[in-house]
Amino acid sequence: MSPFRDPYSAKPFEGLKFVDVGCGGGILSEPLARMGATVTGIDAVEKNINIARLHADLDPGTSSIEYLCTTAETLVEEQRKFDAVLALEVIEHVAEPAEFCKSLSALTVSGGANVISTINRSMRAYATAIVVAEYLLHWLPKGTHEWSSFLTPEELVLILQRASISVQEMAGFVYNPLTGKWSLSDDISVNFIAYGTKNIE
C-alpha cells in the first residue's frame, strides 16, 4: 500500500482491495467499504454471510461488498490477492494457526498489509476474556473461547515471520466501562492487535 495516502481523506482506501477474513455480520467490512476500499468479506458460517449481505444492502455505500461463504484457504486456491488482509478475533478459533497465517500471507500482495487481533494466553486474559465476558457479563456464549488456543504476542510474531509477514506494530485494547468505549493501549496482556507487512518478493 502506498505510504502517501491522506488519512484525513473521506476515502483513504480508494483503489485498494481488502479481505475481511471471518467477517461475521460485516461490522468491519462496512466501514472499510465506506472509506473507499473494494472489500471482500468471507466467513465459513453461511448464516453470518446472509446477515452481512442483508445489512450491507441497506446502504449504497456498502452494497458493493462481496460477501462469500468460504475460507481463506479456498481464496488461496483461487489465486486471489489483496492489498490488505484482516483477520480480527479469528486465529484463536482455527485448528492450525501457522497454516492459517500462511494462507493470509498467500492472499497478500508483496508489501501488502496484514492485521490480526486475538486474545493473549495469559492468566489476566483468562480471567477477563473467559470468566468475566462469558460467565459473569454474558457478553459471549459460554465456551466461546478455549484458553489453550490463545497465542502469546511472541508466538504470533514468530508464526507470522515464518509466513513471510514482518510485524511492524502491536497494541492492546482497553475497555472503559464508564464511556462504554474501547481504545488502543500499550497493554497487550489481554486483547492485542498486530499490524504486519508481507515481505517484498
Give me the helix-helix angle, 153-162 and 97-106, nearest 10°: 50
> Which residues is 182 bridged to in the sheet?
175
Sign of CA dihedral 117, 27, 1, 185: negative
Give the ranges where the chain is alpha helix by DSSP (H).
Answer: 29-34, 46-56, 72-77, 97-106, 123-125, 153-162
pLDDT, mean of residues 32-56: 97
pLDDT tens-digit map of 78-122: 999 999 999 999 998 899 999 999 999 999 999 999 999 998 887
pLDDT, mean of residues 71-78: 98
pLDDT tens-digit map of 132-158: 555 455 555 565 556 567 899 999 999
Residue 4 has pLDDT above 70, yes or no: no
Residue 7: pLDDT band (50, 70, 90) is confident
Residue 199 DSSP code? P
All structural domains of the chain, each given as residue ranges with its CATH number in brackets, are 17-120+150-172+191-198 (3.40.50.150)
CB 118 within 8 A of CB 91: yes
CB 189 within 8 A of CB 124: yes
Residue 180: pLDDT band (50, 70, 90) is confident
**pLDDT for position 59:** 94
